[in-house]
Each structure stands twice: as C-alpha cells, then as structure tokens.
Structure 1
Amino acid sequence: MSTNSHPRFVSANTNRYHPFHKAFKHTFFYILLFCFVNNSYSQWADSMVVEASDIRFQKAIGKQTLFTSAPKNEVKDADIYKLPYKQTPGHYLPHQLPSKLVERDCFLEFALKNSADTAISVCFIPGSYCRLITLFKAQIDNIPGTLIRLPDSLINDDRNNGVKRIHLLPHEKAVFFSRFNFVRTNVNSLIPRLIMDDYLKQWTTLQRERDGMLYVFTYTVSGVLLFMIFYSLAVYIQSRNKEFVFYAGYTFLTCSLLFLKSYFDTTANWFNFFYEEYLDFMIMTASVVVYQIFMRKFTNSKEVYPLLDKILRYFNILLICASIVFSVVYFFTDWYIMLNIMENAIKQLFFVTGVVFIAYSIKKKNPLLNYLAAGNFSLIFLSVISYIIILTGWKLVQKDPTSIFNRALFYYEFGLVLELGFFLSGLAFKNRRDIIERVKERERLKLENERKEFDKQMAVMAAKQEERNRISADMHDELGSGVTAIRLMSEIMKSRLKGDVVPELEKISNSANELLGKMNTIIWTMKSSNDTLESLIAYIRAHAIEYFDSTPIECRVQLPALIPQAEVSGEKRRNIFLSIKEALNNAMKHSQASQIQIIISTNDKLLMIKICDNGVGIDADKLRRFGNGLSNMRRRMESIDGSFKIESKIEAEKNCVLTFEAPI
C-alpha cells in the first residue's frame, strides 16, 4: 500500500503541467509532509503518550490508542505505519465489535514512555480472542527510519488469548504498532490494555474470579447432566428403550457444551479458538437434532402423532443440511459475516421448531406432550432473555455488574435445568402410565389364559359328559334290556313251575333286580341332565320311599321349602347317593326301627341330610358288625370334601341320627 492512504500524507495527482512546475509542486509537498509528520507525532508527546511508570497494576488505554483495519494480507509490515489510524471510542465489548472487523486485519497504534530511572516491562493485550499478534516499535521522531518488528515474545497464559511483553528503557519514549486478527466469533472484544509484568498472573486470576459464581453454577449443571447420562444408559440397559440412548446423547452433548465453555473460557490455545468459532455451535446443533429424535421416540410420534413426527423429521433434515453448509463456509472461506448470518438463522430455526412443538402439544392436550412442551417453553423463554442480554447488554442487577444474574449464560443454563425437571416429571408420568398399561396387559393376558383354560376344561368336560351320556345310553339300551329280559324270564320260569321252589331261580331273579337297580343308579349319575341339586334330592326321596314301600318301616322324607339352583357333578351325586343308600340299607337290616325320617336341608353353600330312626341305636359292639359300611360312608363323603357323623341317643322317638354334609 502507498503512502497516499495515510491521512498524514497529501499526495500529488499526476498532471500534464511543465516538468519544472511538477518538480516545484513535489518539493513543496514533501516540505509540507515533513512539517505535518513532525507536528503530528509531536501530538503523542503532548496528550496521547501513556506513562508506563505510572501504571501500578493495569490500565485500559483504549482512549489513547489509534485503530484501523485493512483487508487481510494486503498490508506489508514495512507499510504498517502508513495506514489511516483514527481515534476509537475507547473499546468494543463482547457482542459489540463490528462484524466486518472480524474479516480484516486489525491494527493498533499507541505511544509509551518511561520517565523512571529504571527499565520497565509491561504486557500488552489488544483484547479477547485475538490471534496472530505482532508488535512493531519505532521512535516517535523518526517512524519510517526506526520501525522494527519486536521478537515474538508471546506469553501463553492459561486464561488469556495472547499477551505481548514490552520492555522500556529508562526515559525511553516510543510508538508501537500491533497487527492481529479476531477469532470468528461474536464474543471477542477490543479492549487495549497494559498490565505490569509482575501482576499478570494476579490480573488473570481476578478476571477468572469475576465469573466465579457462574462457573460454579455451570459445573453444577454439568454434573447433573452427567448424572442423567448414566441414568439414561442404565434405563436403556434394563429396558432396551432406544429413546434413552438418544437422551443420553443429548445430555452428553449439552454437558460437553457447558463444561468446555466454562473450562476453556478465554484460554489462549487453538482448541478454544476452534471451539468458539465452530465446535460449540455444531455441538448445540447436534444436541437439538438428537433431542428431536429422542422426542419422536419418547412420544412414539410415528404411530400416535404422525403430523408431529413429519414436522420434526423435516426440521432435522433442514438442520443437518444447514450444518453442512455452515461447515463448508467455515473450512473453505474466511467469511465471518456469512457464518454469523447462518448461525442466527439456524438459531431462529431452533426457536421455530420449539414454538411449533409447544403449539402442537397444547392443541393435543396430552399430559406427556405437555410435560415436554413445558420444558421446551422454559428453555426457549430463558434463551430469549439470554439473547436479549447479549444484544443489548441489559443488566438486571445494576448495583453489581458482575452479578451472575447479569450473565446471559446463566439464563440458558437455568432453562436447561427447568427442561430437565419437566423431562423427569414427564418420565415419571410415562413410567406410571406404562406400569398401569403393563398391569392391564398382564391382567388381560391372565384373563385370556384363564378363559382359554376354562374353554379347554369345558371342552374336556363336554367331551367327558358326551362320553358319559353315550355310555349311559348304551348301558340303558343294551345292558338294561338284557338284565330286564333275564328278570322276566326268571319270573316266567317261576310261574311255569306252579309252586315248586327252585332256590337258584330265585337267586337269579333277585340278582337281576339288584343289578337292574345298580345299573339305573349308574345311568342316573352319568347323565349330565341330572347334574343338579334338585335332581339329587328328588332321586334320594324316590329311592327311599320305594325302598321301604313293601316293608313294615314307615319312611318319611322332609324336603326344604326352597331348593337352590346349584350344579352337582355326577361324581358328587354318586357318592352322596351311595352313602345314603348304605345308611338306609343298614337301618333296614340292623335298626329294628318302625319309623325312619329323612330330613333334607340346604343353603347356598351346604347340603345336609339327616337320617333318624327309633330303633335300638348303635353301640360300640354293634359298630364292629357293620363298621365296614360306616367306613365306606365316611370315605365317600370325605372324597367330596364332605363329612359324616353318627349320634346315638335314647330319646322318645330318635335313637340314632346319621348326618351327612356336603358342599354345593
């Protein structure tokens, strides 16, 4: 670049005048230039020169510094003093630096003097997130002839992004020029500052302590998110629900974003520059993409909310494409304004996605969606507050500018905490709902299995009953007719003998009668149509009256006033009837009674039959005679969960009472 660009130089335009005239004008120009330059640099000594010996700790020199910029790599080191430097407003705070300066080479000019009798070392910092810093030194009264580049004495401090050490001899006065570039981010600042070399470490510590509460809060939130990572992975291992893998990914990305932001804050190394320029935004975008995938899996939107699933899927595709374009611009160009525009556009896309999800959730009125929507609303609302603080520098606590409540990052992190709280509430609701649904499903499967088992048993019972009916029909049709024929023929033979008694023929007739009675009993027990309590009672009554009909014993049967509608299986009817039949047979043979009373009573759960006679009763010696019959009755009743009891008393009309009880 030529000297024409410096405001302290006046150039002569090329013209067509006489060569003598032209030479005169050039001579006059250089005389004026010499006077102007000397007069200009005399101003440094009067008002703009910084007295280094007066600095006790640190001093911001923005108002005593001149600033300019130029396209990158167009200004040679030898021409750095020729640039059009001008007074700056003092400094540019973070988020206030003009975007166009990030794409250009920046230059500072300032003058220092040391009035002390000893040498002084000070550290120069142009601002935050500055890189490729070089320093040039020249004598004030002869800048072009004394301009030199200072050695690269860069101090790689842990918490500063570039510090240059300046050494001043006793009573030395000099002008300094600095060339540097800004990192492509919106958090860089231009705050030229001089710090005494001995106090650099203390100054960086104080800078760090200004945000001490914010760092504590950030690390706390990062710890909570780390816990959620382990929790989500544990839930996935137990339940194999893939949505928790995506939530673990989301929390990991968010935790990394916050932790790296706090840990590397203003650190001077390539990774922090790369993080501020590119990586933090990519992590944020990836976290949003993964979170939207999680929401789709968590709410089962593909099946339950197809419209919401389609919207979130399209937003994800759009975010991925925008991130690819952003990466191409970052890695293959030096543009910052375009990156800043794209970053703001993608963040607005985040906002639109959240608003659409919240509106859809409110419309659906689903509790699970409402929990997630409340979390999204909290994060969006507090992120908007954070963005307003960044743009306007708004301070909620005016009395304490360093308060945590004045920091934009605090509100974003607080929004993440609220979102996490609402997510846990939604997770608890979903788990409770899933547990209820699983219990209902188990009950449904249990009832279904019980129904199938019941149907199976009913089918088996129906098959058995059908077989019983078939056997009873065959017995009635085949055996019954045969036995009846034997009895008839025996009776015919007795009538033909005309009074001659043949014992064998009498036995044949009696055996046929007994066999026919037993077969009728078996047929009665096997027929399913008789499986009722009413049929059992009627059959017992009919058998008792018929049994004592041709005997001197008077038999009376007392029936209940109301017989309940109860089903009694064939096996149970058979055991009850045979027990009653055995009791009546014993009474006929051994009781010597003239009266027998059968009392039948029922309720909803029990059938009770009492057989009372006025005979000789039963004593211990007589029990031995028909003990086998009594044991058979007891065994039969116990086989159907019933009971059998004997009472022998000397009363007016009841000397023996047999009690049979059976559940129905």
Structure 2
Amino acid sequence: MTSKSHPRFVSANATRRHPYYKVIKHTFFYILLLGLACNSYAQWADSNIVDVAAIRYQKAIGKHSLFTAQPKQQIPDADIFNLPYKQNPGNYLPHDLPGKLIERDCFLQFMLKNTDDTAITVCFIPGSFCRKVTLFKANPDNIAGTFAHMPDSLTTDERYDGVKQITVQPHETATYFCRFNFVRTNINSLIPRIIRHDYLEQWGIAQRNRDSLLDVFTYTVSGVLLFMIFYSLAVYIQSRNKEFIFYAGYTFLTCSLLFLKSYLNYSATPFNYFYEEYLDFMIMTGSVVLYQIFMRKFINSREQYPLLDKFLHFFSLLLIGASIVFSIVYFLTDKYIMLNIMENFIIKQVFFLTGMFFIIYSIKKKNTLLNYLAAGNAALIIFAVISYIIIITGWKLVENNITSIFNRALFYYEIGLVLELGFFLSGLAYKNRRDIIERVKERERLKLENERKEFDKQMAVMAAKQEERNRISADMHDELGSGVTAIRLMSEIMKSRLKGEVVPELEKISNSANELLGKMNTIIWTMKSSNDTLESLIAYIRAHAIEYFDSTPIECKVQLPALIPQAEVSGEKRRNIFLSIKEALNNAMKHSQASQIQIIISTSDKWLMIKVSDNGVGIDADKLRRFGNGLSNMRRRMESIDGSFKIESELNCVLTFEAPL
C-alpha cells in the first residue's frame, strides 16, 4: 500500500483543508492579477500620456498607444473599452502590415493631456489608407462611466481627408479610443500620429513632397505614353491598321495607371481607396490583355506563329477569367488575403511565365522583329521583378534614406516600361522599314509585271501588224503587181503592133504603168517585215540609186560603211527615209544639171547619216522658192521619225539626212 492510500495520511490531509479553500484561493489569485494589471496599466498610462502642449509640429504615438484587432462588425461600440488591448509594436510601414489585420476591425487606445492654460486642438490620424475612423473619449479615472462617442461633426477636418480633430481642454487628461479598418491594399500603414492643428497643411504638403522626384518621373513617363496614344491613333487614321487601336488602348490604360498613382498619392478619398483596392489591378489586367491582342495582330501570329498565337490567346482568356473572379471576391466579400494572393502570387506569376515564354520563343525563332519585342519584354520583366521584390519584402536599396526614389517599387516598374517602349519603337521602325522595302519590291514587281504584259501586248499587236503587212504586201504583189505588169506588157505589145506610129496616150499608159509598178514595189518593200533591218534599207537605197541613174548621163557613186550594225528599222521609218532620198535623187536628176552624184552612207550605234551631193549648179533662192515644197516634204518626213534634214552647201549642193536607229 502506498503512502497516499494510508488512512492516517488521508485523515490528516482532510483536517487541514477547509471546504471553501479552493474558492478563496482562486478569488485571491484573480484579485492579485487584477491588481497587478491595474498597477501595470497605471504605470503604462503614467509613462505614455502624450502632452499635446509639448508637441510643436507632430508626433508619432505608436509606442504610446495600445492596439487590438477583432473580427469585423462583431464588436459593438459600447464594448470597445473592454477589449484586450496590448502594447502597440510601434509602426507598421507600407508592405509590412500583416494581412490578417486588414481583414479585421482595428482599435487603438491612447491618452492625451494638456498642461497648458488654454485649450489645444490637434489632429489625429491612425495611419495611411484607414477608413471608417471613429473616435471615443473617456475619463481615465472612470472609463466605463464616461465612455462616449465623439461626433463626426466635431472631429472631421475638411482640410485633409482621413484626419480627425481632437480638442483637449486646459489641464485635461483624457483616454481616447479609435475604431477603424484598413483599405484592402498592401501599401497601407499603421502609424498613429498627433499633428498640431495649425501645422496640418504643412504636414500634408510634406507628405506629398516625400515622393516629389518620383512624381516628376511618373508624370514624364505618363507624357511619353500620352504621346504614344496620339501616335497610335494617327497611324490608325492614316493606314487603318487596327492593331494600333489596341496599342492606343494599352498605352491609355498604362498612362492612366501611372498618372492616377502619382496624382492621388496617398489621398484619403473614397475614389483613391477604390482605386488602390480594385481599379488599379483591373486597369493593369486590361492593359495586358490589350497588349497581347495588339502583339498578336502586330506580328501576324495567327499565320506566322500559330503556337505563340494560341498561347497568347489562352493567356488573354485566363486574365479575363481571373479578373471576373477577382471582381466577385472584391464586391461580394470582405476578404483581402485572397485578393492579395490572386494579384501578387498568381496573376503576376502568370505575367512572368508568359513573358518568359515569349522571350524564349522569340529567341528560338531568330526573327529580328520578335527579338526587338522580346528585348522589351525582358527589360520590363527584370524591372518588374525588382519592383515586385520591393513590394513583397520591403527591400530598401538605400537604407539611410527611406524616402529615396530608389526605394520605390513604382520607379523600377516605370523604368521597365520606358525600356519596353524604346525597344518597341525600335521594332516598329524596323517593321516600317521592312514594310517599305517589301512595298517597293512589290510595286517594282507589279510594275515589271505590267510592263511585261504591256510588252507582250505590244508584241502581239506588232506581230499582228507585221502579219497584216505581209499579207497586204503579198496581195499587192500577187494581185496588183500582176495586173500592173499586164497593163505594161499590153501597152508594149500595142506599141510594137503600131510599127513605129506614136500614140501619146499609149506612151502615157506605159510610163504610168512603169511608175505605178515602181511605187508599188516600194510599198511592198516597206510593208514586208523581213525587210525591217538597216542592212535591207541601205541595200535598197543603193539598188534604187544605181538603177535610177543607170540609163542617164549622170554618174552615180554610192559609198557604204565598212560595217553595218545589226539594227532593226521599222517599215514606217524605212519608208520615210527612202522616200526622202528618192525625192533628193529626183530633184538632182531634174534640176542640178550635174554629171556626178555621190551618196555617202555612214552609221553608228545610234544614228544613220546619208549625204547626197552633186557637182551641179547648186540651189539658189529662186529655185528654193520654186522647189520648196519638195524640200519641206523631205524635212517633214525626217522630223516625223525624230530625224533631221539640212542643206549644208548651196554650191555643189550637199543634202544631209540623219535618223536615229
């Protein structure tokens, strides 16, 4: 048997314990704890009462206040002073505030006193992006009995949203309670602050000037994006390229995102709260969707890069779906952690993976335009990752200057945007240059094609003409030639039968038949396409000249070039040259009284020159007027084929004919 079961032990222990021993013990313990708590609160209150008379400009009271957080809409106002307040850890800076606090109602307790002889009005602000701020006041000696709500009509300060006014009477000490909750964003902060009433405007200016350099940079980037909006619309109006409508939409949303971010700048307005909670994410998502649509149309991915087109299309649908889910969660719930996870840990990760896929795909394709766009995406991703790290971890690149622009996440995101825009403009310039070259090539190809068709058409027409000329010349030779020859022969037979009797009419018929036969032969020669050569022209002129002067007392000499080039001479040109030479020989025969006529034919690659000279009496003014019609006919014929005719000497007349080959 153990000592605990021995009867003597049990009896002795029972005689030492009173029936109400436990009740007395626990009551004494709780009284002791309450005393210690009251003593601790009294010690805290004595050391943390903020003297408003000692505040010259402003004072952060985070370490001089108590804090607690409770489920939303669960605590009535009457129970606020009974909440389990704890020592406030100090200040929660932007990006440092725990997400669970944003989903709860928050409460602050602090004490103010006025050691001055006059009432002092100060302004109180619990932090940035705090809404539904309500103040309560109580006497520290009787908190439960004096706890009361401070009306908004007395505490509202119209000069600065989100700030509450507190008037502390002379030598008054009071305990204040503040009820508020945070906007559902990751840039809010818990920094309770007391600001002198007359210093509030300067404090507001100082708050805005903290990011003055970032504001200047942001407005500059916004201006560049605004210029790109006008440029995109101008390109669309001029060229009707629909993709630039989507790019204008993308730049407009991005410009709005940056401008509103800087313009609102921590202002405690309902619109800014809505913007920070919901609108900025929707604008960013919309801009990415428009950019993806623009990208697909800009590079014609549907035809040239089907895999990339399907991926970007799927990504756009995914973003639209995520935006719908984000909107449902935002409008139908009070959740923040879920919104934060969707925005910063899911959708932004999808942004990153999509950008990396596009970069890798572009590198593999080795396309210059894709490489420009991939370089822009790479720059944007690198600086967006830096911005994201600063947002998530609160990383400070410049430790000794918290307000430095290099500690701002937005600054790095804007640098990425500027670089991405620069690479895009480079790619656009390359694409425009390539399109211009392709359009010039296409225009030249169409021009050559049209010229070829026109040439073929002309060749067909010329072939038809040549065929028709050959047919007509054959018909003239076979039909008219034989008929004229028959008339000439019959006239000669009639002359022989008359046995020397002269019949003038018969002689005229014979001569006319001879002339008609010669002219017809000339026409047949000009019409026959096989004679369309320079060699044929020179040979025909030589044969005609020798035959023409053969039965006359005039000696005719023809000097030919040593080498006759292979040049084509059309029937029209041959006819005009030959008739001009024939007219010159006819004039020399009738009027020159010459004994010698010389024809000198010379050629070059581009010109044919024929000189007809005689040793006759030349041409005087009277003869020129008398026979001017023949000379003008020669000049007209030569000019009609872009040639020339001139009289080089009136004595021993020299006529020069020049015609282009």
Give the residue type in structure 2 aligned to 1:334: D
C-alpha distance in 1 between matches for 2:512 and 2:523: 16
Question: In the alignment, which residue of structure 2 is the partner of 1:661?
Answer: 658
Structure 1 pair 281–156 and aligned structure 2 pair: CA distance change class (3 A): farther
- Greater shift, 412-421 or 251-260, is seen at 412-421
* Superposed CA RMSD: 2.3
Relative to structure 2, which stretch is displaced further, 496-505 or 54-63?
A: 496-505
Distance 2:233 2:159 in 1: 35
What corresponds to 2:360 in structure 1? 359
Q: Identity of paired residues, percent? A: 81
Which sections of structure 1, spanning at least 5 residues, go unmatched?
1-17
Q: Residue 65 of structure 1: CA displacement? A: 1.8
- Superposition deviation, residue 46 in structure 1: 3.2
CA contact (8 A) 2:405 2:411 kept: yes
- Structure 1 letter corresponding to 2:544: H
Shift of 1:400: 3.1
Q: How does 1:154-553 map to 2 (within 5 A)?
A: 154-156=155-157, 160=161, 162-344=162-344, 345-553=346-554
Q: Secondary structure at the match of 2:388?
A: helix
Question: Which residue identity is paired with 2:445?
Answer: R
Q: CA deviation at 1:395?
A: 3.0
3-state SS of 2:181 partner: strand
Q: Equivalents in 1 of 2:205, 2:434: separation in Å?
A: 52
One-letter amino acid matched to 1:151: P
Residue identity opposite 2:196 in structure 1: M
- Residue matched to 1:7: none
1:83-102 equivalences in 2 (<5 Å): 83-102=83-102
User: Residues 488 and 514 of structure 2 are in contact (CA less than 8 Å); yes or no, is this contact kept in structure 1?
Assistant: yes
Change (3 A) 1:291 1:158: farther
Conservation of the 8 A alpha-carbon contact between 2:157 and 2:165: no
Partner Cα distance (2:464, 2:386) in 1: 78
Change beyond 3 A, Cα 1:155–1:419: farther
The residue number in structure 2 matching 1:3 is: none
Q: CA separation in 2, counterparts of 1:395 and 1:586?
A: 110
Q: Counterpart in 2 of 1:554?
A: 555
Shift of the alpha carbon at 1:660? 1.2
Residue 470 of structure 1: how far off its partner (Å): 1.7
Extract structure 1 runs of 4+ deviating beyond 6 A: 18-23
Q: Cα distance, 1:326 vs. partner?
A: 0.7
Post-superposition shift, 1:22?
8.5
Q: CA deviation at 1:537?
A: 0.6
Distance 1:376 1:151, change over 3 A: same
**2:312 match: secondary structure:** helix
What letter corresponds to residue 396 of structure 1 in structure 2?
L
Structure 2 residue identity aligned to 1:481: S
Greater shift, 442-451 or 601-610, is seen at 442-451
Q: 1:157, 1:268 within 8 Å by CA — same for their partners in 2?
A: no
Partner deviation per Cα, 1:398-421 (whole Å, 9 max, x = no partner)? 443322222221121222222222
2:126 match: secondary structure:
strand
Q: Deviations over 1:510-568 (max 9, x none)?
A: 21111111101001111111111111011111111222222232222111111111111
Does the Cα contact within 8 Å between 2:375 and 2:420 map onto a contact in 1?
yes
Return the offset for 1:331: 0.7
Cα distance, 1:305 vs structure 2: 2.4
TM-score computed with the length of structure 1 as normaliser: 0.92
Normalising by structure 2, we get a TM-score of 0.92
Pair 168,374 (structure 1): closer, same or farther in 2 beyond 3 Å? same
Q: Deviations over 1:303-338 (max 9, x none)?
A: 232222222111111111111111111111111111
Cα distance in structure 2, aligned partners of 1:585 and 1:391:
110
Question: Which deviates more, 583-592 or 598-607?
Answer: 583-592
Distance in 2, Cα, partners of 1:493 & 1:443: 70
Is the contact made by 1:229 and 1:248 (CA closer than 8 Å) also made in structure 2? Answer: yes
Q: CA separation in 2, counterparts of 1:494 and 1:537?
A: 37
Post-superposition shift, 1:29?
6.6
How far apart, in 2, do the equivalents of 1:159 and 1:302 lie? 53
Per-residue deviation, 1:645:
2.2
The runs of 5 or more residues in structure 2 that have no matched partner are: 1-17
Please say which of residues 334-343 and 171-180 is displaced more in the overlay. 171-180
- Mean alpha-carbon deviation: is it higher for 389-398 or for 221-230? 389-398
Question: Does the C-alpha gap of structure 1 residues 369 and 28 become closer, same or farther in structure 2, counting only changes over 3 Å?
Answer: same
2: CA distance between counterparts of 1:646 and 1:81? Answer: 129
- C-alpha distance in 2 between matches for 1:623 and 1:45: 137
TM superposition shift of 1:265:
1.6
- C-alpha distance in structure 2 between counterparts of 1:158 and 1:242, whole Å: 47
Deviation, 1:500, is 3.0
Q: Which residue of 2 aligns with 1:629?
A: 630
How far, CA to CA, are the matches of 1:623 and 1:167 in structure 2? 127
Which shows bigger deviation, 569-578 or 119-128? 119-128
Alpha-carbon shift at residue 461 of structure 1 (Å) = 2.4
2:414 aligned partner, one-letter code: E
